[in-house]
Amino acid sequence: MPRVFVGVGGYPFGMSEESNNGEHSGVESNGNDSCESVFLDGVMMTREEAKVSAFDASVQHGVGLFETMHGFTTPDGVVVEDLDEHMDRLQESAAMLGLSDDLKTGALGEAVVETVRRARYKHTRVRLTVTGGDLNMLQSGGSGGHSPTVLIQAQPATAYPDEMFENGVMATIAEARANPLDPTAGHKTLNYWWRLRELQAAAVKGAGESIVLQVSNHLGGGCVSNLFVVSGGKLITPIARGEESSEAHALPSPVLPGITRARVMATAKKLGIGVEVRMMSIDDLLDADEVFLTNSSWKVLPVVKVEAEVIGSGEPGGVTNQIRSGVLGG
């Protein structure tokens, strides 16, 4: 079947046509739009066609980063929420961790939008994964001179029941601890095994998320979310990576700087609700008037119980609902 190119402004790593095996820069299509929902290294393809090498660093060593986004179709075209912010975070992490120092986020963003468009879902969960590629990282010296693998997958967005947001959920306290001295902490790496184990254990208890403490016993966040508490009408959230104190000997934060977290903080400012970013203890959580979690899928998810402890009135609070309405409306 003939290949049809749909340009996205250049190969995502700035490779020339010659360096990309002589092919044109941009996104390729196999011509079958109806079931193409995967972008793999510049080529649009079906799920069945998508194959990653057994020697890819993601398979061999779990080396890679990812971003999960929400896309939807409007009469004016495809919208991917907070696309620029997701691309900026990915670029920063790729550079900091030595994955790539030449990530072309403009081209990657266009590829994300094109993948969502071709998938043709009304609401789309789209995941962008960038791996270490087919390489020996020791031989490359971690210089970022290799060619990472780029994978974009589109699938129908999860339809969460209204009751989750109307009634709130229970959260557990995870057994695992986040280590601020882990250089990959605070980044969206492919190493989610321990998080998934904690989520499985939480699900057995009927909980929707598990809250992770740091090794210092300060609060971190959820396994797949950021944490906010409401106390005295003010939001309080743990310090995230990039927000640490500049004082000597200050520990780095293992908390992901969440995209929806940033939206919540901006929404709170518009609404005149105070926000405090600081180290938090378990008492800050259990004594809170309200608690909620944030990520790109849930947006704002109320927590009404932590283990056996009821939070506040045991129902989603007014500040939480106000923030959620503001985020969804913004």
What is the per-residue pLDDT across 126-179, written as a single tens digit (0 to 9) for each? Answer: 999 999 998 665 555 555 456 899 999 999 999 999 999 999 999 999 999 999
What pLDDT, on the 0 to 100 scale, is given for residue 35?
55
Fold of 162-329: D-amino Acid Aminotransferase; Chain A, domain 2 (3.20.10)
What pLDDT, on the 0 to 100 scale, is given for residue 145?
52
What pLDDT, on the 0 to 100 scale, is given for residue 102?
86
Indicate if the pLDDT at residue 118 is higher than 90. Answer: yes
Tell how far CA 219 is from the center of its chain: 19
Indicate if the pLDDT at residue 74 is higher than 50. Answer: yes
Cβ count within 10 A of residue 151: 20
Q: In degrees rounded to 5, what are phi and psi of residue 266?
A: -70, -40
Q: What six digits make up the tokens of 261?
A: 């977290």
Residue 329: in which H helix or E strand, if any?
helix 318-329
What is the per-residue pLDDT across 230-274, written as a single tens digit (0 to 9) for each? Answer: 999 999 999 999 999 876 667 899 999 999 999 999 999 999 999
Burial class for 180, CB neighbours closer than 10 Å (0-12, 13-18, 19+): buried
Strands (E), the chain: 4-6, 27-29, 36-40, 43-46, 64-74, 77-80, 123-131, 150-156, 169-178, 209-214, 219-222, 226-231, 234-237, 275-277, 290-295, 299-306, 309-310
DSSP 283: H
Domain residue limits, the chain: 4-156, 162-329
Paired strand residues for 64:
131
Fold of 4-156: D-amino Acid Aminotransferase; Chain A, domain 1 (3.30.470)
Q: What six digits make up the tokens of 294?
A: 């944030």
